[in-house]
Every structure is written in structure tokens, then in C-alpha cells.
């Protein structure tokens, strides 16, 4: 592994540890939304011919497969 990558990762972890609990929660929610948007974009590229309603149903179905069922 590149030394610069390790150093950047270490700095990133240090920054995350300095966040308040509220800031951590906001960051987690932000990353979750970003992930969902990227998933939606990739899904739309894979199924460009679906109508909005069909696409939304497929999106919800696929998203539910990713949900943590432990709760």
C-alpha cells in the first residue's frame, strides 16, 4: 500500500474522531444519501427503458435487499 494513502487514511480517521456525535450522525446521513443517489444513477443506466413508476418500484425492491434485517 502506498505510504501517502496510509497517511491520508490516518488523517481522515483523526478528523472523524474529532467530530461531535451530532456531526458524525449528519456525516453518516450525508454519506447514506450520496450512496442512494449513486445507486439510483447506476440502476437508471442499467434500465433506461423503464417508466418512472416501474423504475421506482425496481429501486425500492433493490434497496430493500440492501436493508439490514437484523433490526
What torsion, rounded to 10 degrees, do the Cα atoms 14, 6, 32, 34 define? Answer: 120
Report whether 59 contacts 43 (CB < 8 A).
yes
List of E strands, 1-71: none
Q: At what angle do helices 21-46 and 52-66 cross, to 10 degrees?
A: 130
pLDDT tens digits for the chain (71 residues)? 577 778 899 999 999 999 999 999 999 999 999 999 999 999 999 999 999 999 999 999 998 888 776 65
Does the pTM surpass 0.85? The reply is no
Amino acid at each position: 500500500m502506498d505510504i501517502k494513502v496510509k497517511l491520508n487514511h490516518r488523517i481522515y480517521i483523526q478528523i472523524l474522531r474529532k467530530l461531535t456525535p451530532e456531526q458524525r450522525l449528519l456525516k453518516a446521513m450525508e454519506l447514506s444519501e450520496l450512496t442512494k443517489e449513486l445507486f439510483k444513477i447506476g440502476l437508471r443506466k442499467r434500465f433506461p427503458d423503464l417508466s418512472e413508476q416501474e423504475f421506482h418500484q425496481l429501486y425500492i425492491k433493490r434497496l430493500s435487499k440492501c436493508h439490514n434485517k437484523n433490526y
